[in-house]
Structure formats: structure tokens, C-alpha cells
């Protein structure tokens, strides 16, 4: 769901900012930075990786 929304946002930004690659790169960098900061505070997200009893299979890593 998050990936689909990010893809939609990237598509819209691409249409609006045609020919403005530098602006697109800056916006994408800020978006990625914000996402990483949000995930770093999201303890529930990281608990899945830290829990040894929950085995992540290749399919789980793709999600």
C-alpha cells in the first residue's frame, strides 16, 4: 500500500516536473530521508527483524 502510494506520487511528480530532473532528485531525496526517519522511530517495524522466533522467508522480504 505504501509502495503503491509512493509510485503514484512519483508518477504525478514526473508529469508535473517534466524537464526538471534536479528538482525531482531533490524531492525524492527528501522523501526517502523522511521515510527512513519515520521507520527509525517505528519500533513495531524493527521488532519483526529482531524477533528470532519469526523466520522471514524470501517472500516475506519482498513485501
pLDDT of residue 24: 77
Instruction: Report the C-alpha gap between 60 and 23 in whole angstroms.
Output: 34
First to last CA, the chain: 10
Give the model confidence (pLDDT) of 3-42 as tens digits. Answer: 888 888 888 877 877 777 787 788 888 988 988 888 888 7
Instruction: Report the C-alpha gap between 19 and 2 in whole angstroms.
Output: 26
Q: Which own/partner pairs from 6-15 qualify as long-range (CB within 8 Å, at least 24 positions apart)?
A: 6/31
pTM attached to this predicted model: 0.43
Q: Where are the domains of the chain?
A: 2-62
The residues, ordered by sequence, that sit 6+ positions from 57 with a Cβ below 8 Å of its Cβ are: none
Amino acid at each position: 500500500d505504501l509502495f503503491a502510494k509512493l509510485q503514484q506520487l512519483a508518477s504525478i511528480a514526473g508529469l508535473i516536473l517534466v524537464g526538471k530532473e534536479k528538482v525531482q532528485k531533490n524531492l525524492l531525496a527528501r522523501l526517502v530521508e523522511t521515510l527512513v526517519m519515520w521507520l527509525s522511530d517505528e519500533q513495531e517495524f524493527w521488532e519483526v527483524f529482531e524477533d528470532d522466533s519469526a523466520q522471514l522467508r524470501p517472500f516475506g522480504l519482498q513485501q
